[in-house]
Amino acid sequence: MKKLLFGVIALSFITACNSDNISNQNENPANDNTSSSDLAKRGCASEEVRQEALNSNAELRQRLATLETNTEKFTNDLKAGKVLPDGSIEIPVVVNVLYKTTAENVSDARIAEQISVLNADFGGTNTDINKIPSEFQAVSAGNTQVKFRLVNTIRKATSKSSWATNDDMKKASKGGIDATSPANYLNIWIVGKMTSQGKTILGYATFPESAGLWNDGVAIAAPYFGKTGASSPFNLGRTATHEVGHYLNLRHIWGDANCGNDQVSDTPTQTTANYGKPSYPLYNTCSGVQRSVMFMNYMDYVDDAAMFMFSAGQKTRVQSVLASNGARSGLRLY
Ligand code: ARG
Ligand code: ZN
Ligand code: CA
């Protein structure tokens, strides 16, 4: 009854408006109080109102200055090809190869293969993307809009095959290779093998708070770099995908603690790391809540063949550090 009453009132308003329009339809607009020349030129007061506000507000003037600086930076980045027309950022990559044996001196072809894997995995064009369970398809990152381009390969023979995770490979003074302009290039070091406390390490990375420091970048042991000739089950180039994920602001999906937090809301909380090739669905219970976990995420520890997605929330974290005011915005400048 109330609804009906409202409808009747609303209808009577519309009717009133219509009848008004009808009664006015013969009037020439030029005959009203506005002159015809004023009407032909549209008026917009935005800039005038803006100027008035700016004149009386120093904080607003500062905000405008910052905004114009950022706009100009983005425009220059776009012009210089540092932001591609589709909005993607292309990260320039320097590969530093430290080899004792010829097998450790990974070929240019294998380096190119690894760059292709990074482009596929970050671009969402990896051939196994169709394996994402339907449950997680809605939160798949798809294209993270990050691309990679090899700009240089530096090779150095060394008597050392086994390296620690103490950054020696990044220091010429310790037999390594100094980083090339680490604020502006993703440096990747390839070494024969790496161990930490007697355990084999596939790779390790610095996080964005290290942007531009001498040790900034990713280290990977040769058997887990690229595909051809790499060591199964880590022979699909995904150690680099995982490590570059860290470099671009991503944490392990289990948050490095029991039921930890990776600061990404669309990756279900999981108890711990997964290994091998888990079968889907895999359920974990954290704080009494049972969830199907996203073990096929690149930031878990499963085999290369078992990982094939980033999430949308992870994409946001990656993009935040590559934004023009982000910790890794220097990668736009090359
Ligand atoms: N354990 C290494 C790290 O956390 C890399 C793990 C990569 N996993 C893989 N399937 N390639 O830094
Ligand atoms: Zn990791
Ligand atoms: Ca999460």
Tokens representing 194? 């790496």
Q: Whose CA is nearest to atom 9 of ligand 1?
A: 239
Distance CA 239, CA 235 (A): 9
Cα 173 to its chain centre, rounded Å, is 34
Which of 201, 242, 295 to probe ligand 1 with, by most ligand atoms within 8 A of CB?
242
Q: Tell me: pLDDT of 83 over 80.
A: yes
pLDDT score of 138:
98
3-state secondary structure of 124: coil
pLDDT score of 115:
98
Which fold, 38-256+313-331?
Answer: Collagenase (Catalytic Domain) (3.40.390)
pLDDT score of 6:
37
Active site residues: 243
Ligand 1 pocket list (CB less than 6 A): 202-204, 234, 238-239, 242-243, 301-304, 307
Cβ count near 147 (within 10 Å)? 17
Distance CA 48, CA 44 (A): 9
Cα 234 to its chain centre, rounded Å, is 23
Distances in Å between the Cα of 15 and the Cα atoms of 7, 10, 19, 20, 130 are: 12, 9, 6, 9, 56
pLDDT score of 38:
67
For residue 216, give the H/E element and its range.
none
Tokens representing 214? 């001498």
The ranges assigned to domains in the chain are: 38-256+313-331
3-state secondary structure of 279: coil
What confidence tens digit (pLDDT) does each residue in 277-334 have? 999 999 999 999 999 999 999 999 999 999 999 999 999 999 999 988 899 999 986 5
